Amino acid sequence: MEIITMLTAYTTILAPNASMMTGAGTNTIIVGGGIEGATVIDPGCDDPEHLEAIIRAGESRGGIRRILITHGHPDHVGGAEALRKRLGMHIYAFSRQGVLCADEELPDGTQIPAGEDCLRAIHTPGHRFDHLCFLLEKQRILFAGDLVAGSGTVVIIPPEGDMQAYLNSLQSLQSMDLKEIVPAHGPSITDPQPLLANYIAHRLQREEQIMSVLGQHPEGVEMMVIVKQIYQDVDERLHNMAMQSVKAHLIKLEREHKASIIDDAICYPVR
Helix or strand or coil: residue 204?
helix
- The rounded percent of the chain whose pLDDT value lies above 90 is 83
Q: How far apart are CA 230 and CA 210, in angstroms?
A: 8
pLDDT at position 267, please? 82
Per the CATH hierarchy, to which homologous superfamily does domain 4-190 belong?
Answer: Ribonuclease Z/Hydroxyacylglutathione hydrolase-like (3.60.15.10)
Asked whether residue 251 carries a pLDDT value surpassing 70, the answer given is yes
Asked whether residue 65 carries a pLDDT value surpassing 80, the answer given is yes
Asked whether residue 1 carries a pLDDT value surpassing 80, the answer given is no
- Range with the lowest mean pLDDT among 5-19, 57-71, 79-93, 170-184? 5-19
Q: Which among 35, 112, 9 is positioned nearest to 69, based on CA atoms?
A: 112
62, 34 Cβ separation under 8 angstroms: yes
Q: Which among 108, 181, 93, 107 is positioned nearest to 144, based on CA atoms?
A: 181
Asked whether residue 16 carries a pLDDT value surpassing 60, the answer given is yes
CATH 3.30.70.1230 for domain 200-269: no
Asked whether residue 86 carries a pLDDT value surpassing 50, the answer given is yes
Domain ranges (residues) in the chain: 4-190, 200-269
Give 18-39 pLDDT, tens digit per residue.
888 888 899 999 999 989 999 9
140, 180 Cβ separation under 8 angstroms: yes
Instruction: Count Cα neighbours of 177 within 13 Å in the Cβ-side half-sphere.
Output: 3
